Structure 1
Amino acid sequence: MTSGATPRLRTAPVLAVLVCHDGDRWLGTALSALRRQQPRPRHVIAVDTGSVDGTAKLLADASEGPDRVIDGVLTLPRGTGFGAAVHAAVEHAVQRWGDPGAWLWLLHDDCAPEPDCLSVLLTAAEVSPSAAVLGPLSLDWTDPRLVVEAALSTDASGHRQTGMGRVELAGSFRQSTEALAVPSAGSLIRRTAWEELGGYDRALPLLRDDIDFGWRANLAGHLVLSVPVARLRHARAAGRGVRRLDAAAAPPGPALRGVDRAHGLRTFLLNCGTLSFVLGLPRFAVLAFLRAIGFLLLRRFSDARAEIGALRYLLSGRARLVAGRAERPAHGVVRGLFTSRITRLRNAIRGASAALVRRRVEADLALGRLPEDDARPGAWALPSEVERPVVGPSALPAGVLSRRRPVRATGGLRRPVVAVPVEAPPGPRPSPRPRPSPVPRAPGAPGVVFVEVDRARVLWSLVLGPPLLLVVGLTVFGILANAARIGLDLSGGRLLPVGDLESTWSSYLAAWHPVAGGTTAPAPAALAVLGTVGVLVGSPATLVALLFLGDAPLAGLAAYAASRRMPVRRPVRALVAAAYALLPAATAAVSQGRLDVVVVHVLAPVVFAGVAAVLRGGAGASWLPVASGTALALAAVGAFSPLVHGLVALAALVGFVVVPGRHGDGRRRVASLFMVVLLPMALLLPWPAVVLQNPAVVLHGVGAFVASPAVGLVDLLSLRPGGTGSVPFVGFVVVGFALVAAVLRPSRSMLAGWAAVVLGGFAVIVLRTVVVAPLPGGDASPGWTGGPLVLVGWGLLWVVLSAFRRDVGTVPVRRVVSVVGVLSVVGLACAGFVGLRSGALTADGARLPSTLAQEVPSTGRSVLVLGTPTRLVAGRLPAFGDDDLVPAPTATARLERWSRDLTGGSASAARTALAQAAASGVAFVVAPDRKTAQVVREAVGELVAVTPAMSDGRPVLRVQLAAGNAVLLSPELARRARTGGNPPVELGAPGIAPVEAAPPEVGVRVSEGPEGRLLVLAAEEEPGWRAWVNGRETTIVRAWGHLVGVTVPTTASEVRVEVSSTLRELLLLLQAAAALFTFLTALPSRRRP
């Protein structure tokens, strides 16, 4: 019986090879998909590589009966690779049928091709006769809307490249493209090309065998096509680590990452050009070592092992590089199909853009907003709208149009999208175009919102997003408001000049500091913070300048990031962050050079969010980075403001008791608490001991001492700490907003903000009622309330932010509130601009005249700076951190007496004070003004000489008395020095011989002389000094009542003097260990999709 219809082929000249290995959970679906192919392959050979599950039974059932789908089953050892299995199947088919077909169709047991997959591939091969390798589009096993693999490529580092992001939509893949390779699952290979190329490389049992074969096919002149119209579902069991790689059990296996990395490098080296091969081995060795170090720092230990394992695999000879290259007739890079560095950079930029949009969408969805609320077309699509019928040229198979060759691409979307898994909103929607499926599909996949990442959306999310507008606006504010002090070397107010990296670190690590006559007290931990972070920006001085000039944008960004978990709209978060950045206490801190409060202002929101996360618990695998990161930030705060550090630690302890934890999270929560409370103490060693012993450090913070300005109750209530830099009453805007928010829209989330207000208020009361003398000396005075008021301001703004939560309800009169909020921030900005126009902080720091700037460091002589307080420093001018060193017990009173006698005492008292200062190594005296310098000159007469003034106009006087950092006294002067007498006040007094040495380490050789001579160092005598004469330890003698002295024998001798610091060095080692642990654990672990 005849019919006019075109007859349909029931079989195609194709040999299908189904390779199975412990895949019974997917094999049933794969066999069903194979049975539903139209047309079916002429022959199907299944290869079971030693499966120990139900695979053998499923294959046996599928090879029996009239409707069998498998023509034969081969059983091979468990360690057989994919390529070897295919080779065995092809050889068996040729022996059995002679000509099993012109094509080979390679299938995995975890892939299920669509019913028309083989037909589409054969049609594409017919249209493109030069095509020898064709591959379908691989879709996710559980959600066929998402693409998992398409065309493949590689780069110069041997990494597998797909050109796709984390989530790609199947609807965007339509046009066939030329590629370097296609995935092995579902690939259709011309049998003549298979035999010509020798099939898959048996030395690559798993992973990268498909790229190697496709690369060789391209070099042989064959065409490799990715045909996205042909589709299959692929579980990727081996690639996702679901299935053990038994075929790659030998090193670098069976670890997935190790095998993938090793085989990727081998594939590149075997197929690349000669020059690339010669340079590739040393290049890969260096890069693998560097990557391993980087992965170790990121705590990605499996990736680090993979890099080292891959390097050993190459260098050990097991990769057979030379022999493998000799067996291959052609080498080189296929132009247009190889992933270049520019392409990788372009993909990275696209991925970053997608990540930004993804975060934006996730934040909006958390607030109950869908991207369609933006009223922009094409912003999002429901899952049912993803698959749309394609018409026009894009619907034609490859080669139908007039172009000579298909589009060359490495695979990827021309319109990339990102997906955020959410429940789709209910409502009528058009039904998707039905596609046949080999098996009944599972219940509907979870709703996914698909967002197109086009230029408009990236512009909207990044360039016009609230975070960038916030940072740009605050940066412009900071530049304009601080225009008079822009520079990279700021000083003034509480900020003494900051040294470079070398001087900062040497000062921090030194056992003895030439400040106030010398002290063995530990240096403030703030120097370590500046020295560590200063490396990133060039110098500590640059870092300090960036902190002051960029205080507003840095604090605003920190506040915005700290509120990211709040279900509040981004514009509201940005307004609140801007208000925090412009708090009166912050602008006053910048104006007055108070670095401690600036650091608190920048880091307080971050610490607040970290402590809240620790108390909340349930952070999953990220609890360790959260706890360590919070400890790092809190340690930085504690290095500058011990008071705020103590308040946060107290809040964490109280919160741990008050805030209930989640069930089963107790141990992790306790460990996090201990890290937040105790780890910062270890990071600050040995500084905490100084803080505990000296309350002045707690109340006054770190920095040069400046008397706290008077402040009234109204100022404190308006968040104004007093002094320059802030406008009265403007802070009532923040207070009023918080009170109104608490009354009209109360919520539990406000409790954290009120807790910060209570803590800050308590600290304000303590600072204004307790008076303590500062470390450098002077009258007892209360502390400055800027730091606690920053905490109060942040707490009040947190209350305001909590009132705008979406779960609290709709904000009444929303537009009115928005206008008032914007006007309030503008008012804070105007007040801050006015306040920052004044203040002591300046970019014109004081410097010694050029002649003295060279003499003082080279000689190491001391400079006595008269003022309040009086400072004594050797080898330089006073610098940041000097006022935070605990001086020797009598040093502060002595400096005050010298200053008093030189500027207001009698002539004899002034001359005696100058002689005592000279005995302590003073070579220059800096007077606060010309009038004071004239008083000193009239009092001491010829004992001083005038030198060029400092850059800020302060006069400098040179001391003419014989002195040095170390002197040898005659027996007569030695007796006077031991008995507490005064040094000689006459010019050219005999018996003083300067020695070329300087503390803290002195080693001199003295000649024979009379008995009773004394070696005196310009260093305060205190515990820790030790001396040796001819290798025998001797007793330290106190000279001139406070200096270090050593008795010298009559014979020629070697004298060595040094200060012991064993305990301090142990504490520094412990600090370094704690810092290393914290840095490594604070790095976020890798997120896997």
Structure 2
Amino acid sequence: MRSTVPSDERERQLTSGATPRLRTAPVLAVLVCHDGARWLGEALAALRDQRPRPRHVLAVDTGSLDGTAELLAEASAGPDRLVDGVLSLSRDTGFAEAVHAAVDHAVRRWGDPGSWIWVLHDDCAPEPDCLSALLTAAEVAPSAAVLGPLALDWADPRLVVEAGLSTDASGHRQTGIGGVALVGSFGSFGQGAFEQSTEVLAVPSAGSLIRRAAWESLGGYDRALPLLREDVDFGWRANRAGHLVLSVPVARMRHARAVGRGERGLDAVPAPPGPAPRGVDRAHGLRTFLVNCSALSYVLGLPRTVLLLLLRALGFLLLRRFSDAQAEVAALRYLFGGRAGLRAGRAARPHKGGVPGLFTSRITRLRNAIRDASAYLVRRRVQADAALGRLPETAPRHPSEVDGPRPVGPQALPAGALSRRRPVRATGGLRRPATAVPVSAAPVSAVPVTAELPSGVSRPSPRPRPSPVPRGTPAPAPGIVFVEVDRARVLRSVVLGPPLLLALLLTAFGLLANSARLGLDLAGGRLLPVPDLAGTWSAYLAAWHPVAGGTSAPAPAALAVLGVLGVLGGPQFAVAALLLGDAPLAGLAAYAATRRLPARRPVRAVAAAAYALLPPATSAVAQGRLDAVVAHVLLPLVLAGLMAVLRGGTGAAWLPVASGTALALAALGAFSPLAHGLVAVAALVGFVLVPGRVGDGRRRVAGLFIVVLLPLALLLPWPAVVIQHPSVLLHGVGAHLAPAGVGVADLLALRPGGPGALPFAGAVVVLAALAAVVLRPSRAMLPGAAALVAAAFAVIALLTVPVTPLTGGAAEPGWTGVPLVIAGWGLLWVVLAAARRDLPPVRWPVRRLASAAALAGVLALACAGFAGLRQGPLRAEAARLPSTVQRELPSTGRSVLVLGAPTRQVGGRLPAFGDDDLVPTPTSAARLERWRRDLTGGSAEAARVALTQAAASGVAFVVPEDRESARRLRDAAGELVSEAPPLSDGRPVLRVRQAAGGAVLLSPELARRARTGGDPPADQDAPGTAPVEAGSVEAGPPELGVRVSEGPQGRLLVVAAEDEPGWRATVDGDPAPVVRAWGHLVAVPVPATAADVRVEAPGATRDLLLLLQAAAALLTVWMAAPPLITRPRELSVRAR
């Protein structure tokens, strides 16, 4: 019954802010229940406490199997019954059908059950004034047809989990709340964000108040949506019909969201896309968009939806999120399998109105993503501080501690609502909530509340007050701290945080120190010019390489790494970024690798800066040692991942951690096999010595196998080269560069020798580690000590075991830079272990002195590194061939002979990165060294013989070391050479004028001479040589196919390629013998008749190994993808 209060008195109560005294309201409450006995008791109690209460309450039980039926029977019995009737429907009845059944039953039973329908779930508990606030807002805004309350978390009413709803073109449900938000209007968090009613696209069905006339005109909830998204669809239709949909935040209720949390199954949708909630949500969300959007959006949206679902399914598969991938596929089958009824749904909806400002656009989603990213960074920062025992200086209070009387009536509505027919629309259809994020941290009760109360809010009354939640409700989780996310905190946590400042300072250092070599085409020292992306991949995948006369040895795996890194900007850019950005990259890697240490961020940042400025690192950059630079950048991350695998405790993330570590270790091993070997040995020893967590035994064993064995598969077939040739293991990847002498004092100061590091600069790191051991020894220093021991053994091996480089020459000791980088990281780990916050505190003067010494040490390393980087052979521009030569070489298939130490012969181009890491044939190094000696300092006869031999090997151009050497060679060779345009760096170029090519056909006389070990004729016009035309089909190695004409018996086809096992030849399809010509070249006897001759280089085994490598790489990347992150239950914000 309506209240008998006179209309004038009621108007006075409205305008004065007093709550009208109504016992019942013309409202039909529909309570839908399904296996919700655990929440139903509180929901019924909250419904009984409503002031005013609904005129009629109907409950619908859709086949519940728990105690729901008994609770409803009890509530519908007795003189003080709450429920007027209970409808029992089958278990597969959907939510929309249940509400329809209740409304139809009420109309048949009472005729006019009320002008409003209040839809309730069995897992929602409205506050006592919820219905009153909704009715007051509806009375002030007569055009409002759908109103919804503010949904709070069931267990922690401080958390706002739902307000208004919207959707986007991808069918995602948008709540306008990034994660969860803090309820209340107190302190600096609320600012009234949840006190203003807002026009929205839709409101959640739980607690929604619907005008019955609008329900009947719109046909109610769409029965085609049995569960999920029926609220968004109904709100969209209401807006298009000209009705107003309002979210009223002064009306509040607690909502458990049982379906979204997986606490209740979707029995109403047993078939795909059900019963998984994710599949139903995606399918119904996309259907809601497609049946309600405009005609143009529908036409464009159909193919877009197909592509979107397929791409998302593929992405989820790669991330191992199989349930999400299955949901995307199920949504695709539902939409385009005929069961969605898209055309019928669109025909039933009059598309005459629009929803401007209520639909979530891409810009709004981008803005929300940026806001959520900022909140995530702040949350991570506070969690790290909480782990160290530090929490924000002030903590917001629970709403019940400071809430005064909450305004109702007109005062609860937004300013100006009484003078407007329609409230102002919010951008994107949703309000922007208070920017506060919950953070799981230490118990909040341990944090003293020292913040002042805002003006106008009184302190809590000492007398008992009504509780905002039912008595006995579990207290909020004590481990949640609310942190305000404003510009100041984002500035402190992100812009002014140690990681960004560290990156900016080290980037500035790297650019200033390397200002003389800024560029994208670096070369010099141990770095040969880096080819472009196509050249890098072709060199890596090729079965035969035109280097040192030709070799079928596997290319170094470093080319594959550069090919992957250079997908966007090219391998040259990747190399330049590694060398010029070594300091910031290594500093950030070191900072990230220490994130699990209980040390303060500034301390970690100082240690990371010291690691970035280590003398062996600056020496590596100055000397172009890309292998050491990569080791410097990846080493902290690899060791941190290894420690995580050995210690365990990573939970479900153990597989991504182990796989990511294996991936980084493979990249490290591609450049520095020595570092790879040391880490592998450390993994095996650590598995025995480091105790794991209880229950992590199998994961530790599996993680060990992944870390140790998987990188070998990722590097195939490169490990075989490393095992067979110790020089690759000890010297690493890169051009040959004679190591400089190094003494014991240099090693103790972390100086590896050569330019790039000042003497005794690294002593500050050693002294800091010694001081840390003396002042604050702890067991946490043991990993650093182990790194020092491993580095010491590696240094001893490098200096005492000289090996011969692949390019030939005398045996040489290795460069000690990589082991000294490991030693430097071990020393800094010792320093960080002494700075742990879980150790006994030190006196304030000692801390001040240690901080000043650390800053002074980093500054000294920076000054020494700056001076060292101004030295070194690395330069900004690589040498280039003249344009005429660049155009000629690819068409002729001939090679360039670059004299020097070592001498290099490369086909079609100048030497490039990776050439010196290809294993040549056994005689190539000695032959090239003999040519260099004869062409630079031998007699005229020896120079002419060397030139003819080089021409027979396909050499078209010779690059002497300087102009004087070029003049002597020109005088000695006479007409056999002529001048050509010089290289871009000024070195002279001589053209070899003797007729030759990628393949030549020798007369029987010259054939006998070539097969018996003679030298090619030195006369330029000597008869008997017929070069194969460059225009012939495949007229050069590694695959040559040519048709020879009739001629005398005994002719020989000579290929300009070094003879090695595996070459195959056929004549007219029949196998033919492969012989050796001029002592080292591949040759095939040809018959006197015309015939088709084919010669092929070996490579079948390598192709198989590359396939295995590709499979291992795909598997590792797939396993290294981060797992699906699930929020804690108390922080979940999934809808309903």
TM category (shorter chain) comes to: over 0.9
Question: Secondary structure, in 3 states, of the residue corresponding to 1:201?
Answer: coil
Shift of residue 436, structure 1, vs aligned partner: 3.9
Q: 2:444 matched to which residue of 1?
A: 424
Q: CA deviation at 1:69?
A: 1.5
Change beyond 3 A, Cα 1:196–1:386 = farther
- 1:30–1:110 contact (8 Å) kept in structure 2: yes
Are residue 877 (structure 1) and residue 904 (structure 2) matched?
no
- Check the 8 A contact 1:380/1:450 in 2, yes or no: yes
- Which of 1014, 1019, 1042 is matched with 2:1052 structurally? 1014
Of residues 879-888 and 815-824 in structure 1, the stretch that sits farther from structure 2 once superposed is 815-824
Residue 352, structure 1, aligned to residue 384, structure 2? no
Deviation at 1:412, TM superposition (A): 4.1
Partner of residue 991 from structure 1, selected from 1016, 1019, 1024 = 1024
| Contact map agreement 2:140 2:418 (CA 8 A) in 1 | no
Q: Give me the whole-angstrom Cα distance separating, in 1, the residues matched to 2:940 and 2:536.
A: 40
2:166/2:232 contact within 8 Å kept: yes
Could you tell me whether the CA contact under 8 Å between 1:804 and 1:811 is conserved in 2? no
| Pairwise CA distance, 1:401 | 4.8
Whether the 8 Å contact between 1:383 and 1:448 is mirrored in structure 2 is no
Deviation of 1:392 after TM superposition, in Å, equals: 8.5
Distance 1:716 1:427, change over 3 A: closer
Amino acid aligned to 1:804: A
SS in 2 for 1:135: strand
Displacement of 1:30 after TM fit? 1.3
Q: Is the 8 A contact 2:894 2:908 kept in 1?
A: yes
User: Residue by residue, what CA displacement relative to the aligned partner does 1:368-404 show, whole Å, maximum 9, x if unpaired?
Assistant: 11111xxxxxx54244688533788995235655444
Q: Distance in 2 between matches of 1:18 and 1:216?
A: 23
Q: Please, which of 853, 857, 865 is the counterpart of residue 820 of structure 1? A: 853
Q: 1:268 to 1:390 in 2, by over 3 A?
A: farther
**RMSD of aligned Cα (Å):** 1.8
User: Do the aligned partners of 1:524 and 1:881 also contact (CA within 8 Å) in 2?
Assistant: yes
1:628–1:676 Cα contact (<8 Å) kept: yes
- Separation of aligned partners in 2, 1:400 and 1:1020: 90
SS at match of 1:59: helix
- Gap change, CA 1:1036 and 1:48, over 3 Å in 2: same
SS in 1 for 2:809: coil
Report what 2:31 is aligned to: 18
SS at match of 2:695: coil
Q: For residue 1056 of structure 2, what is the amino acid of its counterpart?
A: A
Q: What amino acid is aligned across from residue 177 of structure 1 in structure 2?
A: T
Query: Which residue number in structure 1 is paired with residue 14 of structure 2?
Result: none
CA distance in 2, matches of 1:293, 1:912: 62
2:156 touches 2:475 (CA, 8 Å); kept in 1? no
Paired position in structure 2 for 1:132: 145
Structure-2 change in CA distance of 1:456 and 1:724 (3 Å) = same
1:462 corresponds, among 466, 490, 494, to 494
Contact 1:271 1:331 in 2 (8 A): no
Q: In the alignment, what sits opposite 1:956?
A: 989
Query: 1:376 matched to which residue of 2?
Result: none
1:440 is displaced (CA, Å) by: 2.1
Deviations 1:810-850 (A, max 9, x none): 24322222122111111111111111111100012111122
Residues 365, 52 of structure 1: alpha-carbon distance in 2 compared, 3 angstrom cutoff: same
Residue 468 of structure 1, CA deviation: 0.7
1:586-665 counterparts in 2 under 5 A?
586-665=617-696
Q: Take 1:441 and 1:205, find their aligned partners in 2: how far apart are those partners?
A: 32
CA contact (8 A) 2:552 2:1098 kept: no
Matching residue's letter, 1:869: P
- Separation in structure 2 between the aligned mates of residue 391 and residue 815 of structure 1, nearest angstrom: 51
Residue aligning to 2:404: 389
Alpha-carbon distance between aligned partners in 2 of 1:655 and 1:387, rounded to the nearest angstrom: 55
Q: Which residue of 2 aligns with 1:471?
A: 503
Cα separation, 2, equivalents of 1:506 and 1:445: 59
Residue in 1 aligned with 2:389? 368
Whole-angstrom distance in 2 between the partners of 1:1004 and 1:692: 39
Distance 2:397 2:390 in 1: 14
SS in 1 for 2:249: strand
Distance (Å, rounded) in 2 between the aligned partners of 1:887 and 1:731: 39
Match of 2:525 in 1: 493
Aligned to 1:516: 548
In structure 2, how many angstroms separate the alpha carbons of the residues matched to 1:447 and 1:413?
Answer: 26
Aligned pairs for 1:699-848 (under 5 A) are 699-812=730-843, 813-848=846-881
Which SS does the other structure have where 2:502 is aligned?
Answer: helix
Does the 8 Å contact 2:229/2:285 carry over to 1?
yes
Opposite residue 611 of structure 2, the aligned amino acid is Y
1:293 deviates by: 2.0
Match of 2:318 among 288, 297, 311: 297
Amino acid in the other structure paired with 1:1002: L
Gaps of 5+ in 1: 373-378
Which residue of 922, 931, 944 maps to 1:911? 944
**What's 1:405 paired with?**
422
CA offset digits 1:277-301 (Å, max 9, x no partner): 1211122122222222222222222
- Give the whole-Å Cα distance in 2 for the aligned partners of 1:358 and 1:328: 44
CA shift, 1:37, in A, is: 1.8
Match of 2:48?
Answer: 35
Instruction: Output the amino acid matched with 2:1097.
Output: V
Q: Distance in 2 between matches of 1:829 and 1:784?
A: 23
User: CA offsets, 1:439-464, max 9 Å, x none?
Assistant: 42224531422111111111111111
Asked whether the 8 Å contact 1:32–1:439 carries over to 2, the reply is no
Q: Cα distance, 1:901 vs. partner? A: 1.5
Structure 1 residue 849 and structure 2 residue 868: aligned? no
**Partner of residue 375, structure 1:** none
* Residue 63, structure 1, aligned to residue 88, structure 2: no
Query: Separation in 2 of the partners of 1:959 and 1:226?
Result: 86
Q: CA deviation at 1:930?
A: 1.4
Alignment of 1:425-574 (within 5 A): 425-426=445-446, 435-536=467-568, 538-574=569-605
**Counterpart secondary structure, 2:1026:** strand
Does 2:288 match 1:288?
A: no
Tell me the distance in 1 between the aligned counterparts of 2:532 and 2:487. Answer: 44
Aligned mate of 2:891, from 846, 850, 858: 858
Corresponding residue for 1:1035?
A: 1073
Give secondary structure in 2 for the equivalent of 1:246: coil
Give the partner amino acid of 2:623: Q
Residue 971 of structure 1 is matched in structure 2 by 1004
Q: Secondary structure at the match of 2:1055?
A: strand
1:415 aligns with 2:420: no
Letter in 2 for 1:701: G
Which deviations, in whole Å up to 9, do the C-alpha atoms of 1:256-287 show, x marking residues without a partner? 11111111111111111111112111221222
Deviation at 1:935, TM superposition (A): 2.3
Contact 1:63 1:72 in 2 (8 A): yes
Verify the 8 A CA contact 2:141 2:421 in the aligned structure 1. Answer: no
The alpha-carbon distance between structure 1 residues 184 and 947, as it changes in their structure 2 partners (threshold 3 A), is same
Greater shift, 328-337 or 553-562, is seen at 328-337
Distance 1:48 1:248 in 2: 17
Q: Offset at 1:8?
A: 3.5
Q: Which moved more, 1:282-291 or 1:837-846?
A: 282-291
Letter in 2 for 1:405: R
State the alpha-carbon separation in 1 of the partners of residues 28 and 482 from structure 2: 39
Indicate if the aligned counterparts of 1:1018 and 1:1043 stay in contact, CA closer than 8 A. yes
**How many pairs were matched up?**
1081
Name the % identity. Answer: 72
**Alpha-carbon distance in structure 2 between the residues aligned to 1:189 and 1:964:** 88
Match of 2:214 among 175, 187, 193: 193
Q: Deviations over 1:162-197 (max 9, x none)?
A: 110112111131111111110000111111111111
